[in-house]
Amino acid sequence: MHTRLQLGRTPADPTPLDHDIDARIERLRNMVRGARITALTGAGLSTDSGIPDYRSPNAPVRTPMTVQMFLSSHEFRRHYWARNHLGWRHMDAARPNDGHLALTRLQRQGRLTGVITQNVDMLHLKAGTRRVVELHGCYGRVRCLGCGAVLSRQALAGRLEALNPGFADRVAGRGAIEVAPDADTTLSDTGDFVVVDCARCGGILKPDIVYFGENASKDVVDQSFSLVDDGDVLVVAGSSLTVMSGLRFARHAHRTGKPVVIVNRGATRADPIADLKIDHYCSAVLSALAGTHAGPAADIAV
């Protein structure tokens, strides 16, 4: 089974925060008391870590590169890698926020079975959460499309920096750089950037990220369904579920009689089947659920 990501990241219309948040959180506590929780997370969970999302109210409209564009020409790949050479550093420096830490605490309490994340930021792993399925891959790995070799993004950064000395500093001097949720940036001046190919076979190198227009692997999708089946309740945090990639798991939980809880700023495609919807910030709600207070994230060593 594959999931094809579709292009079209239009922000949701602004919605008011739920005014009865204390009552809703108490209802959430009652729903999950004694239950095994599976979490499905999206970009809205990571905004408190300084990583922007695509569809929350007031988010800027973005047009990410599709896999078809990336594969179609060297120019598109050069444009992408130049932007990623800047963007991945921002994502690598990001730290888990209270929402990530709350999920880790729930797991250590024996209440969370695992996490399915649509994010590529690796913040669940940095927070210490285990049994994390990265539905769309992660920014920290690069894969050769020819021989399948895998290398770290850090290792590739060294090669790119050697061929593009001072590129990041030169670009930074041209003005503010807007970073996107997938370790990309909105940089347009990339004509002088030099791209590298696979050192083993000369093949095309691509971030180990599921691009729009690309399929999530069957194995990863199967692991995600298994996580949903292992839990008693599905908690969706920070996702509009606009693409079927995440929506299918909410629908699966609903079909199999598991309660679906959604914590998100703005409407989601699964609102009609949700047993509880909380229009509020993920960090605050998850911290309350885990028995912690939302505040500055702890400085956790990776």
- Domains in the chain and their CATH numbers? 1-51+96-136+216-296 (3.40.50.1220), 62-93+140-209 (3.30.1600)
Which residues are documented as binding site for Zn(2+)?
Answer: 144, 147, 198, 201
pLDDT over threshold 70, residue 55: no
Which pTM value belongs to this model? 0.86
213 within 8 A of 4, measured Cβ to Cβ:
yes
Using one digit for the tens of pLDDT, what is the confidence trace for 104-117? 999 999 999 999 99
Q: Which residue has the tokens 């790119």?
A: 160
- Rounded distance between C-alpha atoms, residue 273 and residue 285, angstroms: 20
Read out DSSP for 87-121? HHHHHHH----HHHHHHHHHHHTT-EEEEEE---S
Residue 252 is among the residues annotated as catalytic for this protein: no
Using one digit for the tens of pLDDT, what is the confidence trace for 168-189? 777 765 544 555 555 555 555 5
pLDDT over threshold 60, residue 287: yes
Using one digit for the tens of pLDDT, what is the confidence trace for 125-138? 999 999 999 999 99
Using one digit for the tens of pLDDT, what is the confidence trace for 6-34? 444 444 555 667 779 999 999 999 999 99
Name the nearest CA neighbour of 44 among 12, 6, 89: 12
Catalytic residue among 79, 90, 100, 136: 136
Using one digit for the tens of pLDDT, what is the confidence trace for 152-173? 999 999 999 999 998 877 776 5
- Rounded distance between C-alpha atoms, residue 80 and residue 102, angstroms: 34
Using one digit for the tens of pLDDT, what is the confidence trace for 236-270? 999 999 989 999 999 999 999 999 999 999 999 99
**What letter does residue 175 receive in the DSSP assignment?**
S
